[in-house]
Structure 1
Amino acid sequence: MQVAVVTDSTAYLPEGYAVRHAITVVPLYVLIDGEEYLDGVDVDQDTLVDALRARRKVTTSMPTPTSFSKAYREALDNGADVVLSVHISSELSGTWGAAVAAADEVNAERGEGSVRVVDSRTTVMGLGFAAVRAADVATRGANGAEVEAAAVSAAARSRTLFVLETLEHLRRGGRIGAATAVLGTALAMKPLLHIDDGKITPLEKVRTLSRAMTRLADLAVEAAGDQQVQIAVQHLGAYERAARLAEQLDARIPGLDGCVVAELGAVIGAHTGPGVVGVVVQPV
């Protein structure tokens, strides 16, 4: 059986991953002062960072169901028996709902079960690793249910942690309460957050960015434990900090089976703000 894998642009797969693993990526939309761009296609990191630092209005929007149904039909027309579509947490975006609507339409045409949709309950490379795992299992001839199970398992086992320079952008986007954001700013705290049951949730507050980065490394090492893991360090406008963190994790995690440093794109970056550094720990 041939199973095609589809995800969305908030996975922020490192360069070459989508092609290498034959994953179709459906982009979300980013609006800067009302002008619309496709995430990961026609807006780059520098443009986003400049817009956010200039306090221009940056908003995001999910793909349309039509975008998904087009991707599903193309995959099926190109020989796939089933499409597995795995997406950003429904707690963070309406993307999963748009994918479900498209799947219902295509399943009515092509037969029930032609398209299966997964709410990953995570994002960035927590989502990306789940899509890659699904694609790898698919290449071994697994059926749709087995590929779906692989994606769900990988997403559930991932650990995603972030350090932000400020909570202000999350507050503006409604992803975190105003009181929490004001308190953090007033105390000059650097917030550590994580993905918990599909939501971005405060984990700790640390004074100074350097201490926050040290704590981020400690938490990633704790999450890895004695397991064999893959690591993704992702950032927006903070390459040097991200690269240093990757070097530290490479030295401290004995079971490390690869560490990539990759940029975050506009949709997640619009909500976290410039300077964010995140780590995804994925058990192999």
Structure 2
Amino acid sequence: MPDRVAVVTDSTAGLPPELAARWGIRVIQIQLQVRGQIDDENRYDRAELIESLKSGAAVSTTPPEVGAFFWTYQDAVSAGATAIVSLHLSGKMSATVDAAREASQQIQIPVYVMDTGTANMSVGFAAISAARAAAAGAPAARVVTAAEYRYATSRELIYVDTLEYLRRGGRIGGAQALLGTAFSIKPLLTLANGEVSPLAKVAGTRRAVAKMVDLAVKQARGRMVDLAVSQFGEDEHVVWIANQLRKRLPQASEPLLVEASMVLGAHLGPGSLGITVSPVA
């Protein structure tokens, strides 16, 4: 019998619900703790979370319980899956992948748990590629290869208004070197070796956003790429970024506008923006 491969990811992939539903991707919610209350991130109101962050309220993130993975995997088995490919954000940023591995040991079919070393739509695009391969009837090994190519070649470009939220959450990584810069200097970041890393320092928000677009164009290198523009909170720059990407990368797919995972937003802070550049195989 041919493999029937189910694809699972977590909510930090930033997949719009309609895309996850279209490709049959199961999404496990990472949890937020706000003012002592813990719940799945999709149960929080985005505007209220942003206000909580701005007011200095205690906000933290928590990996899903092992049971959340177990029952999601079991649901896939019950639906007829013969293998599962489970893609998750960097293990250096969260213990989510550890919970997935623990749950996988209790499942009677092969479960390929993948630490992508990244987050956001770099994981989202990898999950879509895996689901496409699975829908075409590819064996599990080929589904894994399709996912690996996408997350290994994708790049996250990140603008934050301040590094304070990353510092508070302990996820600042190599960007620690940028702390203490003048208020008007805006940091651009990326994800490298599984953690947040500095990319550039630019004077002023508009210049920083323009620089981020320049870096995205350079990263694409004329290749066919998928693009996503993510935001945490309403931001006037999103439409400008998308228009610039359309103009300067005509060979790319239509930029996908997404709301960043609230878990990632809690660490990056209100006003954060991101561009995902993901080469198409």
Q: TM-score range by the shorter chain?
A: over 0.9
Shift of 1:181: 5.2
**Residue number in structure 2 paired with 1:83:** 84
What TM-score comes out, normalization by structure 1 length? Answer: 0.94
Contact 1:45/1:265, CA 8 A, preserved across alignment: no
For the 8 Å contact 2:85–2:144, the answer to whether it is kept is yes
Whole-angstrom CA distance in 1 between matches of 2:45 and 2:119: 19
Please tell me the residue identity of whatever aligns with 2:185.
Answer: M
Distance in 2, matches of 1:8 and 1:85, equals: 9
Q: Runs of 5+ in structure 2 lacking a partner?
A: none
Give the fraction of aligned pairs with identical amino acids, expressed as a percent.
Answer: 39
Q: For 2:76 and 2:54, locate their aligned partners in 1 and report how far apart those are by CA, in whole Å.
A: 40
1:85 maps to amino acid: S
Q: Deviations over 1:14-57 (max 9, x none)?
A: 24011001000000000111111211x21132121111111111
Q: Determine if the alignment matches structure 1 residue 121 to structure 2 residue 117.
A: yes
Q: Which amino acid aligns with 1:82?
A: A
Residues in 1 aligned to 2:82 and 2:74: alpha-carbon distance in whole angstroms: 11
How far is the alpha carbon of 1:187 from its aligned partner? 5.1
Matched, 1:51 2:47: no
Query: Is the Cα contact below 8 Å between 2:226 and 2:277 reproduced in 1?
Result: yes
**3-state DSSP class of the match of 1:91?**
coil
Q: Is the alpha carbon distance of 1:158 and 1:179 closer, same or farther for their aligned partners in structure 2, counting shifts above 3 Å?
A: closer
Q: Is the 8 A contact 1:14 1:260 kept in 2?
A: no
Kindly tell me the number of residue pairs found equivalent between the two proteins: 277
Corresponding residue number in structure 2 for 1:27: 29
Q: Any idea what SS the aligned residue of 1:126 has?
A: helix
Paired with 1:139 and 1:15, the residues of 2 have a C-alpha distance of 18
Q: Is residue 201 of structure 1 aligned with residue 197 of structure 2?
A: yes
User: Partners of 1:188 and 1:103 in 2: how far apart?
Assistant: 47
Could you say which residue in structure 2 is the equivalent of 1:230? Answer: 226
How has the CA–CA distance of structure 1 residues 253 and 264 changed in structure 2, closer, same or farther, with 3 Å as cutoff?
same
> Could you tell me how far 1:61 is from its partner in structure 2?
0.2
Q: Quick one: which amino acid aligns to residue 90 of structure 1?
A: G
Structure 2 residue matching 1:282: 3-state secondary structure: strand
Aligned to 1:13: 15
Give the Cα separation in 2 of the matches to 1:44 and 1:281: 28
Q: Counterparts of 1:280 and 1:65 in 2: how far apart (Å)?
A: 29
Question: Which segments of 5 or more consecutive residues in structure 1 lack a partner in the other structure?
Answer: none
Q: Partner amino acid for 2:104?
A: A
Matched, 1:93 2:94: yes
C-alpha displacement of 1:91: 1.1
**For 1:232 and 1:265, how far apart are their aligned partners in 2?**
13
The answer on whether the counterparts of 2:158 and 2:189 sit within 8 Å (CA) in structure 1 is yes
Structure 2 distance, partners of 1:138, 1:258, is 24
Alignment counterpart, residue 206 of structure 2, candidates 199, 210, 217: 210
Q: Deviations over 1:132-178 (max 9, x none)?
A: 00000101111111111111111001011001000000011112269
Which residue does the alignment assign to 1:136?
132
How many angstroms does 1:179 deviate by?
5.5
> 1:195 Cα deviation (Å)?
0.9
Following superposition, which runs of at least 4 residues in structure 1 exceed 2 angstroms of deviation?
177-182
2:244 maps to which residue? Answer: 248
SS at match of 1:69: helix
Contact 1:12 1:128 in 2 (8 A): yes
